[in-house]
Amino acid sequence: MHKLTIAGIVEGLGRGDFSSEEITRHYLRRIEQLDARYNSFISVTPDQAVARARAADKRRSKGDAPPLCGVPIAHKDIFCTEGIRTSCGSKMLDNFVPPYSATAVDNLAQAGCVTLGKTNMDEFAMGSSNETSFYGEVGNPWDTGRVPGGSSGGSAAAVAAHLCPAATGTDTGGSIRQPASLCGITGLKPTYGRVSRYGMVAFASSLDQAGPMTRSAEDAALLLQAMAGFDPRDSTCSDIEVPDYSAGLDKPIDGLRIGLPREYFEQGLDTGTETAVRGALAELEAMGARLVDIDLPHSHLSVAAYYVIAPAEASANLSRFDGVRYGYRCKNPRDLNDMYTRTRTEGFGDEVKRRILVGTYVLSAGYYDAYYRQAQKIRRLIKNDFLAAFEQVDVIAGPTSPTTAFEMGAKSADPVQMYLEDIYTIATNLAGLPGMSIPAGIIDGLPLGLQLIGNYFDESRLLNIGHRFQQATDWHQQTVSQCMQEV
C-alpha cells in the first residue's frame, strides 16, 4: 500500500480496496519499524490517527466522504496541532501542546486527512540540512550519511522513505523545495498569501509560506487544493479565488515559454547539476515548450538581502519566547531579566541565537537604513526583475539546489556556506512568487530537482508542467530498495 500516491489512495479507498484504518495502520507500522534509520518524525500519534481513520471510514460508508477522506499524511512540526505537541524542532517548545490548530492543518482535516504525526525540522525552520533540530539530525533515505536538506527535512525524508504518502512543509528561503530536491520528491511553495500562516510558528513573516511535499505533481495539486484559501485570521492571506488545481493538470504544454535565467546557469553551476537540469529542460522542449534566455540582473543580491530580512523578522518574532506564557522556562530565575535571558540562552540552539543576534544588529539604531532598509529596496529590485521576465515567458526554470545531498557535518561549521544552499530558491521568497521542485535526475545515486518558478498565483501552471513532465519521465518514481522495504 505504501507504493500508492495520494491519488492512488483516494481511488483505492473509493473502490473499497482497503479502509482508511488499514492504510493508516500500515503507515504507522512502517514509521514504528523503519524510522529509527531516518529520525524523520518528532512525534507519532497512533491513537489519534486510528480514531480519525475509523471516523473517516464511517463517513465514507455513509456516502459523505470529503475529497481526501481517510488519507494519512504527516505535518511538519511547525504547524500547531491542537492537543499534539508542536516543538518547531526546539527545546524552547519541547513541552508546548497548542490549544488550537493551524488553518492549514484544519483545512486538511476538513478535507478528510488523517494525521500520522509531526515531522522533524531545523530548529524554528532555520537551516538547510535538518542538522539544527533539537531532536537530532535526519538521514536522507537515499544515503543516511547525508542530509535530507532543510528546513522541512523530516517531511521530505518521510515521504521519500514511504513512511507517509505526503506531508506538509513550510518554505521561507527554500525549505520545501531544497529538501524536495535532495530527497527526490515533489515540493511546492505557493505564492505568498495563498495558504494561511495562522498557527504556523512564525520565522520570517513576510517570507513564510506553507505547501505540500508529495511524490507527484498530481498529489501536490490535491493537497494544495485543500490547504489554500482565504483566512481572516491571517491578515496577509489572499482572498483571490482558489482554482481547481487538478482540472488543468493534463493540458498540453506546447508553445509554453520557459525562461532560463542566465545568472543561474553561468555562475559556477555544478556540472552534474547542469547536466540533469538541461536534460529535464530538453524533455520539456520535446513536449513542445520553447526555451528562452532571460536575465534576473539582481539575483546575485538575493542571499545577502535575505540574510538581513529573515533574521530581522526572526529576531522580532522570536522575542515572544520569554518563558512567561508557554514553552520552556529556566529553573530558579533570580529576577525577571535573568528569567528572560536564561530561558532564551538555554532554550534556543546556536543557529537560532546567531540569527537573532544578526537580526538585532541590522535593526539597531544607526544600522537600520544601511541594512534593513537597503535589503527591502533590493527586494523590490528582485521582484521587478521577475515582473520583467514574466513579460517574456510563462514560467522560469533552473536548478533547485546547487548540488545533490551533501554529507552530514560538511557545512555545519560554516554558516555562510550553508546559506548558499538556498542560492536558487531565495529570490522566489523575496518576490513572493510560487516555486516548485520536481525530481529531474539522479547523479551518482542521489536525486536532484528541477525548479519551476511561476507568476503570482499561477500554481496551476507549475502543477500542469510538473504533471506533464512526470507523465513523460519516471524520475519521480525512482527510489532505493531500502525505502520500499516491506514491514
Site for other proteins in 269-298 (CB under 8 A): 298
Selected catalytic residue, list 128, 151, 401, 437: 151
What would the grid cell of residue 485 be?
Answer: 522495504
**Rounded distance, CA 409 to CA 333, Å?**
35
Identify the bridge partners of residue 186 per DSSP, sorted by sequence position: 214
Interface with other proteins, residue 308, by CB under 8 A: yes
- Decide if 428 contacts 435 (C-beta within 8 A): yes
Find the shortest distance in angstroms from Cβ 375 to other proteins. Answer: 6
Q: How far is the CB of 125 from other proteins (least distance, A)?
A: 18
**How many residues contact other proteins, by CB under 8 A?**
73
337 binds other proteins (CB under 8 A): yes
Identify each DSSP E strand in 9-62 by its residue range: 41-44
For other proteins, the binding residue among 56, 188, 202, 431 (CB under 8 A) is: 431
Q: What's the grid cell of residue 90? A: 526546539
User: 175 catalytic, yes or no?
Assistant: yes
Nearest approach, Cβ of residue 95 and other proteins (Å):
8
Is 146 a binder of other proteins (CB under 8 A)? no
Give the contacts of 486 (CB within 8 A, at least 6 positions apart): none
| Residue 128, phi then psi, degrees to nearest 5 | -125, 20
The set of cell numbers assigned to 13 is 479507498
Active site residue 58: no
**Could you say which of 282, 380, 392, 484 contacts other proteins (CB under 8 A)?**
380
According to the binding rule CB under 8 A, does residue 3 interact with other proteins? no
Q: Any contact of residue 345 with other proteins (CB under 8 A)?
A: yes
> Which one among 25, 26, 251, 383 touches other proteins, defined by CB under 8 A?
383
Rg, Å, the chain Cα set = 21
What is the helix (H) or strand (E) element at residue 76, kind and residue range?
strand 72-76
Q: Is 58 in the site for other proteins (CB under 8 A)?
A: no
Helices (H), 363-410: 374-392
Enumerate residues 218-237 that contact other proteins by CB under 8 A: 232, 235-236
Contact region for other proteins (CB under 8 A) — 45-53, 59-67, 95-103, 470-478? 95-103
Separation in Å, CA 66 to CA 4, 5, 73, 110, 374: 19, 18, 15, 8, 48
370 binds other proteins (CB under 8 A): yes
Helices (H), 198-329: 217-227, 262-266, 271-286, 302-317
Active site residue 251: no
Query: Interface with other proteins includes 206 (CB under 8 A)?
Result: yes
Out of 134, 135, 264, 307, the residue judged to bind other proteins by CB under 8 A: 307
- Which residues are designated catalytic? 76, 151, 175
